[in-house]
Copies of this chain bind each other. A is one copy, B any other.
């Protein structure tokens, strides 16, 4: 596909990338944004880690704070979509119910859930920020996959395991999905 063919959709939408820490969510979101920059529809990244230093800086990692974190990101995604901006949200968002609320906030018709399904062992082997090491040492409480649950999405639009599929191929699969996405469903 050429860049101009990447985004045939006329309605802004939200790509919601969920998965374990270290699964490759931010890397994939940023690659999608880079690939989209030359296209007619740029993708803006809402990164969970970045937002925790800004909009969500008052929140921790308790169940209720995680719930509120997901809720706020979904509210911003909705506002961005309303402003005409397509977004890729990269955040663990471990609970099925919280992601369902996010979908309801953003709008069923423009919410595309992508499970970045890199297995725990691969995420832990990468451990880009040394968080798994600290979690195993008991320094980090409520760490998803170690001391806190991750609920696998039962029915995501796409499932991508970045430990077996290269980044470029992942990007291509997302854009392939978008190119075949039923526009009628996005534009009800």
A interface residues with partner B (beta carbon < 8 Å): 42, 44, 46, 54-55, 58, 68, 72, 75-76, 78-80, 82-85, 87, 105
- Bound Cα distance from A46 to B78, whole angstroms: 12
A54 touches B78 (CB 8 A): yes
18 A–B pairs (Cβ distance < 8 Å), ordered by A: A42-B84, A44-B82, A44-B84, A54-B75, A54-B78, A54-B79, A54-B105, A55-B72, A55-B75, A55-B76, A55-B79, A58-B68, A79-B80, A80-B85, A83-B83, A83-B85, A84-B85, A85-B85
A79 touches B46 (CB 8 A): yes
8 further A-B pairs in the complex, CB-CB below 8 A; given A42-B84, A44-B82, A54-B79: A44-B84, A54-B75, A55-B72, A55-B79, A76-B76, A79-B80, A80-B83, A80-B85
